[in-house]
Chains A and B, each alone.
Chain A
Amino acid sequence: MDLIESYKEELQLIRKPWTRIYVAAFVIFLLLLPWVAPEHITYIITIIFIYTIGVQGQNLLIGYTGQISFGQAGFLAIGAFTFGHLSQLGVPWPIGILVAGLMAGLFGILVGFPSLRLKGPYLAIATMGFGIAVYQVFVNSELLSGGRMGLIISKLSPPFGLEDVTFNYYFNFLIALIFTLLSYNIVSSYMGRAFIAIRDNDIAAEVIGVNLTRYKLLSFAISSFYTGVQGALYGLYLGYLEPNMFTFMEAITLFVAVIIGGLASVEGSIMGAAFVILVPQIFSDYREMVPVVFGTAILLILIFEPMGLNGRWFKMRLYFRNWPFR
């Protein structure tokens, strides 16, 4: 039975005992995985962790605040290259990642300004312009992009004699976990509510005292911060950067992850990140078919499950909770 005895209980991150059990099981499974799984699986899941961060940021902006943005590749590039240059200058990695996120966040605020005037598809086009412009700047400026050879980033050396892949797995798992907890806190705070208010009804939001300018820009800043961190971690993981990693397709990938995972849902962002990484892996023999799979998946999801993978997951849980009744 679901009986709540205090308001405080209702604020708990995970309230139901069953949820606690499967979340714990999932975390333990992830912690043990690198010891049993083949190396390339560990490698792929590490990339999912990295993507999880950016997709969550994107979901805060698109799913929660309702501001459609296609400029994510630009923020990724800014985060990644900021980190790359800092690490070449010998700045320690925690500061490098933080500054990469802040730099992307700063550009996020700049790109957020059109959102004060533009809505829906018009905003999408304006942000898309930003993403493409950033890509072009990096392609054409050897100073920024590190030239034809790209930018080499020295990887972290694993402590305790861990293997490289295993260490990176845990490193990125930890950071993704921190960002996931952060996201849950944001969406359950006054800030998250203000974001949703803007999405659901901006005039009403303003009349009850939500400062549209502040919260729209804040949403852009936070989401770009997440994306910038993703870019930095991605660069650190791969060990090199080149502008072609940040084409418009990359923005689409993040967008697809948000839609397929489920709008306005943190769990959905994680599922969406897994989807966009796993699909190209599964179809690796037919790489050119990946966009087709993405497109078809979006169509099917929008028609049959507008709440995304997370919506499906929710209905499954509901079914088992009510079983054998309907």
Chain B
Amino acid sequence: MALLEIEQLNISFGGIQALQGVDLKLESEEILTVIGPNGSGKTTLFNCISGVYQPDDGQVHFEGESLDGLSPDSVAKKGIARTFQNLRLFLHMSVLDNLLLGRHIHFKKKPLQAFFRIRPEELRHRKIVEEIIEFLDLQAWRQARISDCPYGIQKRCEIARALAMEPRLLLLDEPIAGLTSEEKEETAYHITEIRGRYKTAILLVEHDLKIASRLADRMIAFELGQIIARGTPEEVQRAPAVIQAYMGDE
């Protein structure tokens, strides 16, 4: 059984068919990269999986269970974490608090517990968060407010917060867009390390084809809400439909 199975996913907004008959399978510990021009439905796919949008029809199965009708927080509890293309961090909190919020679903929430000091629970999660901080080299920024952090660090914090959720599936929406080439290499390294260390499957949306194809086990290409090519990165990049989607007709 595949980790994530998507069958015949359809969603439309008004007259626009954003996703049309999307089928997709993802095995555990696999990295699948989604490419496609702007507005081709990549982020919509993410929103459908994470419960931000409810698809008009079709099924999303995660570990054999249907995610139909689940709210985003229930999807998160199932073990799916995601990052956002245009950063959605908690700007007024420190990096540390952002990561601790990533632990939210794992906190034991006994009634009335919050009204009294709960050191052991806080300390337990703090330790896990510190491991992630070390892994992603965020030590120097630990106590900094997110709004004081540079863009590259903010991007990394998003990945760190998603990792703190200990997901079995990680959805990364353009994790290296807008970074310097050095930061891009670092993030690419982190992504492969995440799979090795946390045994996470990763669904990756990326425009940088060079890095994307290096990271991916498999690749799919979107155009106008439909999958136009799938296979290994080389196959997809050579597919006539993909070349046409990016370059136009001759």
How distant is A304 from chain B, measured CB to nearest CB, in Å? 20
Residue A11 lies at the interface, judged by CB distance under 8 Å to chain B: yes
Complex Cα spacing A191 to B109, Å? 9
Interface centre among A8, A185, A200, A212 (most CB of B within 10 A): A200
Question: A7 is contacted by which of B89, B101, B114, B123 (Cβ under 8 Å)?
Answer: B123
In the bound complex, how far is the Cα of B93 from the Cα of A204, in angstroms? 13
- In whole angstroms, what is the CA distance A217 to B158 when docked? 27
In the assembled complex, A39 has its CB within 8 A of some CB on chain B: no
Give residues 60-102 of B contacting A (CB, 8 Å).
71-73, 75-77, 81-82, 84, 88-93, 97, 100-102
Within 8 A of A (CB), among B113-155: 113-119, 122-123, 126-127, 130
- A223–B126 Cα distance when bound, in Å, is 28
Interface size bracket, B side: 35 or more
Tell me if A76 counts as interface (CB < 8 A to partner B).
no
A206 at the interface (CB under 8 A from B): yes
Beyond A196-B93, A203-B72, A204-B88: 19 further Cβ-contacts under 8 Å? Answer: A7-B130, A11-B119, A189-B113, A189-B118, A190-B104, A190-B114, A192-B114, A197-B104, A200-B89, A200-B91, A200-B93, A201-B89, A204-B89, A205-B101, A206-B73, A208-B76, A208-B161, A210-B104, A211-B71
Asked if B90 and A201 make an inter-chain contact with CB atoms under 8 angstroms apart, the answer reads: yes
The answer to whether the Cβ of B52 comes within 8 Å of any Cβ in the partner chain is yes
Among B88, B126, B165, the most chain A Cβ lie within 10 Å of the Cβ of: B88
Residues of A within 8 A of B89 (CB): 200-201, 204
Check if B237 is an interface residue, CB within 8 A of chain A: no
Give the residue name and chain of the A residue nearest to B124 (CB): A7
Are A208 and B81 in contact (CB-based, < 8 A)?
Answer: yes
With a CB–CB cut-off of 8 A, which chain A residues contact B113? Answer: 189
Q: How far is the CB of B26 from chain A (nearest CB, A)?
A: 19
Determine how close the nearest CB of chain A comes to the CB of B39; give it in whole angstroms.
Answer: 20
CB distance from B69 to the nearest CB of A (A): 15
Q: Interface of B with A (CB < 8 Å)?
A: 50-52, 71-73, 75-77, 81-82, 84, 88-93, 97, 100-105, 107, 109, 113-119, 122-123, 126-127, 130, 161-162, 165
Interface pairs A-B: 3 shortest CB-CB: A209-B76, A209-B105, A204-B88
Is A194's beta carbon under 8 Å from chain B? yes
Residues A189 and B104 in contact, CB atoms below 8 Å apart: no
Q: Which of A210-224 contact B (CB under 8 A)?
A: 210-212
Cα distance, A264 to B90, chains bound together (Å): 14
Measured between beta carbons, the chain B residues less than 8 angstroms from A201 are 88-91
| Residue A186, interface by CB 8 Å | yes
Q: How far is the CA of A207 from the CA of B90 in the complex (A)?
A: 12
Nearest chain B CB to A109 CB, angstrom units? 15
User: Provided the pairs A11-B123, A185-B116 are in contact, do residues A203 and B104 lie with their beta carbons within 8 angstroms?
Assistant: no
* A7 near B116: Cβ-Cβ < 8 Å: no
CA distance A194 to B75 in the complex (A): 17
6 A–B pairs (Cβ distance < 8 Å), ordered by A: A8-B119, A11-B122, A189-B113, A190-B114, A196-B90, A205-B90
A66→B27 CA distance, assembly (Å): 40
CB closest residue in chain B, given A189: B114
> When the two chains form the complex, which single residue of B72, B73, B75, B92 contacts A200, counting CB atoms closer than 8 Å?
B92
Closest to A264 in B: B92
A312 contacts chain B at the CB level, 8 A cutoff: no
Tell me, in angstroms, the Cα distance from A197 to B76 when the chains sit together.
15
Q: Does A193 contact B (CB under 8 A)?
A: yes
Determine if B104 and A194 form an interchain contact, defined as CB atoms under 8 angstroms apart: yes
Q: B126 — which chain A residues lie within 8 A by C-beta?
A: 7
- Contact B77–A209 (Cβ < 8 Å): yes
Once bound together, how far apart are the Cα atoms of A197 and B89, in whole Å? 9
A197 and B101 contacting across the interface, CB-CB below 8 Å? yes
B73 touches A210 (CB 8 A): yes
Residues of B near A207 (CB, < 8 A) are 50-52, 72-73, 75-76, 81-82, 88
Q: Which residues of B contact A211 (CB under 8 A)?
A: 71, 73
A146 to chain B, nearest CB (A): 33
